[in-house]
Homo-oligomer: A and B are copies of this chain.
Amino acid sequence: MLVDTLKKIVENTPNAAGAILMGFDGIAVMQYVAPESEDVDIESITMEFSFRFVELRRASLALDMGKVSDIMVKTETKTVLCRVLSDEYFVAVVLNDAGQMGKGRWMLRSTSTELESEL
């Protein structure tokens, strides 16, 4: 189940507020938010970012750098890790702290086959 995979990402990533599977059109497929982070609107965050991610993907292709596979944005209060699953979808994990970024990236990578199989 998709939600179980998202839950696994969140539970195995210290300080993760939530994980979400979303289309590059900004429409969420499924999300899981950690019980202690219910005030974090991960859908709004990833939706707003998704439009900018589309632009980064276009720029990468135009620059002959191939397809974008991963994007990370660290802000003062959050870190957003995004992994592209297909031309239409990406999975993202939103962290309340950047300390465990490596673990989050690894979780996205290790579950991507699982997520892709659900698309």
Q: Which residues of A contact B (CB under 8 A)?
A: 44-45, 48-49, 51-52, 55-56, 59-60, 62-78, 102
Contacts of A55 in B (CB 8 A): 51-52, 55
Contact residues of A: prevailing secondary structure: mixed
Assess A48 versus B52: contact at CB under 8 Å? Given A65-B76, A68-B73, A77-B65: no
A77 pairs with B70, CB closer than 8 A: no
Max chain B CB contacts within 10 Å: which of A59, A64, A66?
Answer: A59
A53 smallest CB distance to B (angstroms): 9
25 residue pairs from A and B, CB less than 8 Å apart = A44-B63, A45-B63, A48-B62, A49-B56, A49-B59, A51-B55, A52-B52, A55-B55, A56-B73, A60-B73, A65-B76, A65-B77, A66-B75, A67-B75, A67-B76, A68-B73, A68-B74, A69-B74, A70-B72, A70-B73, A70-B74, A71-B71, A71-B74, A72-B72, A102-B102
